[in-house]
Amino acid sequence: MKKVLPGFILAAIFWFLMFSPWTKDSFNFWYTMIIATVTLISYSLIVGKDQLKTVYNFKWKWVAVGIFAATILYVLFLAGDYFSKLLFDFAGKQIGNIYATKSQSGQIFIGLALFLLIGPAEEIFWRGFAQHNLSLKYGDLRGYLITAAIYAFVHIWSFNFILIMAALICGLYWGWMYKKYKSIWPCIISHAIWDVVIFIILPIS
């Protein structure tokens, strides 16, 4: 816990700055997210340097697993978009607010940032570092659930129910992948591809 707690505090500060109604208009979302992910990935790799061989074991099959997982998650979010709009009057507006950040930078810049840095860095910190270390301390199941809960919780300052639920689903999904495969690569590939598809190529709203 001593390893991951400073990282969680850093994440909470950055996510507050990016999402809270009191601070978000003072920062470019994408530049702040890049700074946040570079900070978190640096912290993860420095503090967790003794775990790199275990966490980053690579097999070529992870590429296919990651692509397939990204496809399944996109389909799940298509279904979630449809049913959330049926169930909640506010869903459409809240989903629109998530996509509103796209106006702050160019589409090519956002796509490259998501694919090359933001998606991979989130997995390196949340699954490869935080979940890995919490699982060592509390066991695989509890480490997985605690990490997914905190990943969702740091989005709370958005006051956007749909975003918080989306973060929880993603945290559970990629956390389960890491728990199953014991390698960060399927998560990185899945997250990077899914980010670009759902934000740039085939947005759901």
CA distances from 134 to 2, 37, 122, 146 (A): 10, 20, 16, 8
Judge residue 92's burial from the number of C-beta atoms within 10 Å of its C-beta, 0-12 exposed, 13-18 middle, 19 or more buried. Answer: middle
User: DSSP state, 201?
Assistant: I
In angstroms, the CA 83 to CA 33 distance is: 29
At residue 84, the pLDDT reads 93
- Residue 50 confidence class, pLDDT cut points 50, 70, 90: confident
pLDDT at 51 over 90: no
Give the position of tokens 């918080």.
Answer: 164
Summarised one tens digit per residue, pLDDT across range 143-165 is 999 999 999 999 999 999 999 99
- Note down the domain range covering 79: 4-201
Summarised one tens digit per residue, pLDDT across range 62-83 is 999 999 999 999 999 999 999 9
pLDDT at 1 over 80: no
Element (H, E) at 8: helix 4-19
Summarised one tens digit per residue, pLDDT across range 90-100 is 999 999 999 99
Sequence-distant (≥ 6) Cβ neighbours of residue 174 within 8 angstroms: 123, 126, 127, 187, 190, 191
Domain count, the chain: 1
Shortest CA distance to 63 belongs to which of 194, 186, 198, 155? 186
Give the mean pLDDT of the chain: 94
Sequence-distant (≥ 6) Cβ neighbours of residue 68 within 8 angstroms: none
In angstroms, the CA 19 to CA 13 distance is: 10
